[in-house]
Amino acid sequence: MTRTQKRYAAATARYAILTVWASLVAFPLYWMITTSFKPSDQWFSWPPVWFPTPPTLENYGDVWLGTSDIASGGQMALEMQTPFLALRNSMMLAFGSTALAVLYGSIIAYAVSRYRLLSEVRMFQLLMLRMVPPIVIAAPLSLYYSYIGLLDSMIGLGVLYFLSSLPYAVWMTKSFIDEVPREVEQAAEILGASRLRVVFEVVLPLIRSGLVATFMFILILNWSEYLLALILSKTHVVTLPVQLSKYEGSTEGRLFGRQAALSVGITVPLMIVGLLIRKHLARGFSFGMVRR
């Protein structure tokens, strides 16, 4: 009896701790979502309003469609465009650079897995592309970019996203390719297929689901990038995170509801993507050090 009691107590304690943490996780998200539905007089009131009464879609209409005039709320009039331009930029940049990184990364990964293109030392050194923070070269980079005409351009920013996500692309796709038995490719090779054809028509189709997982994993990273987008964009390639920071511009009367409405729009797609690949997340940054 005491033993079952003990077990019961342990289980209860576990649920208690997990639930506390779950509410710590959920609360900020709850607050972000409810704030996005609050009318402006409830953004700052003390005590805080826990549930918007009445809920309003005004914030969403304003930030996403530009229905009401923000200028009346403060000095926010300056070139505030609807975020659709930012949304389009973010999508093109994130999808484009991610797709290219996964494609190129998987070819490199194949050559590493089968032909030792890069030794293990080099594979780890590749990680430096991601791990040395971009701020350390940001200033000369922006000067260089302005000379070669890549400042404030999609290609300029896309190249950087591509390069900085390449290490994860290589490591993650390699972990999938390592699991493909060699016999299949060898059969194709004997039948006279060229090496690149073997990659594209045999290996990559076999790891489709792995490629999708890698794609989504890197999409998350590129979608949320802020520093480079901030420094290397002026007006043309404003991305969603940078667009969000523009709502900070006014000194008085911060626009919490508007920020929240935009935040929800930026975050929800990311969460859906992340939850779809939740089983593969560990692979993304375990670099072959977790064996199953």
Partner 1 sequence: MTEAVASAVPADAAPGRRDVSRSHAVRRFKWMILAPLVLMLFSLLTPVLLLQLYFSFHQWTVYLSSWWNADFVGFGIFSEVFTDPRFGWAVLRSLAFAGGSTIGCFVFGFLLAYLIYRPFRGQALYYALFILPMLTVPIVIAYSGQMLLDRNGPINDILTLLSGHEVRVLWLSDPNIALLTVTLLDIWNWTPFSFIIMLAGLSSLPKEPVEAAQILGASSWRIFLEVQLPLLRPVILLALVLRFLDAMGAFPIIWALLQGGPGTATETLGVYIYITTWQDFNVSLGAAQSYITMVMMVVIVLAGIRLLRKEKRSLDSMYAKPHATGEAA
Out of 86, 93, 108, 207, the only residue in the binding site for partner 1 (CB under 8 A) is 108
Q: Does 159 bind partner 1 (CB under 8 A)?
A: yes
Q: Does 290 bind partner 1 (CB under 8 A)?
A: yes
Which part of the chain contacts partner 1 (CB under 8 A), choosing from 56-64, 70-78, 107-115, 200-208? 107-115
Which part of the chain contacts partner 1 (CB under 8 A), choosing from 26-34, 53-61, 65-73, 202-210? 26-34
Nearer to partner 1, 46 or 78 (CB): 46
Q: Does 201 bind partner 1 (CB under 8 A)?
A: no
Tell the smallest beta-carbon distance from residue 45 to partner 1 (Å): 7
| 176: amino acid identity, one letter | F
100, 165 contact by CB (below 8 A): no
CA 96 to centroid of chain Cα atoms: 13
Structure tokens at 217: 């994993």
CA–CA separation, 179 and 160 (whole Å): 30
Structure tokens at 55: 């809920």
Structure tokens at 120: 């293990």
Total number of residues binding partner 1 (CB under 8 A)?
Answer: 92
CA 220 to centroid of chain Cα atoms: 2
174, 113 contact by CB (below 8 A): yes
Q: Does 1 bind partner 1 (CB under 8 A)?
A: no
CA distances 117 to 110, 111, 123, 124, 164, Å, are 9, 5, 9, 13, 20
245, 230 contact by CB (below 8 A): yes
Tell the smallest beta-carbon distance from residue 149 to partner 1 (Å): 14
Annotate each residue in 218-257 with x if it binds partner 1 (CB under 8 A) or - if it does not, as one string.
Answer: --x--xx-xx---x--------xx--xx-xx-----x-x-
Which part of the chain contacts partner 1 (CB under 8 A), choosing from 1-9, 60-68, 77-85, 127-135? 127-135
Name residues whose C-beta falls within 8 Å of residue 56's C-beta, 6 or more positions apart in sequence. 37, 38, 39
Structure tokens at 203: 């290996």
Which residues ranging from 28 to 87 are in contact with partner 1 (CB under 8 A)? 28-29, 31-32, 35, 43-48, 50
Q: Does 146 bind partner 1 (CB under 8 A)?
A: no
Which part of the chain contacts partner 1 (CB under 8 A), choosing from 51-59, 79-87, 126-134, 205-213? 126-134
Out of 141, 157, 180, 218, the only residue in the binding site for partner 1 (CB under 8 A) is 141
Tell the smallest beta-carbon distance from residue 266 to partner 1 (Å): 5
291, 284 contact by CB (below 8 A): no
Which part of the chain contacts partner 1 (CB under 8 A), choosing from 15-23, 55-63, 71-79, 206-214? 15-23
Structure tokens at 127: 């990680």
Helix ranges (DSSP H) in 36-127: 58-60, 84-115, 120-126
Q: Does 5 bind partner 1 (CB under 8 A)?
A: no
Nearer to partner 1, 36 or 211 (CB): 36
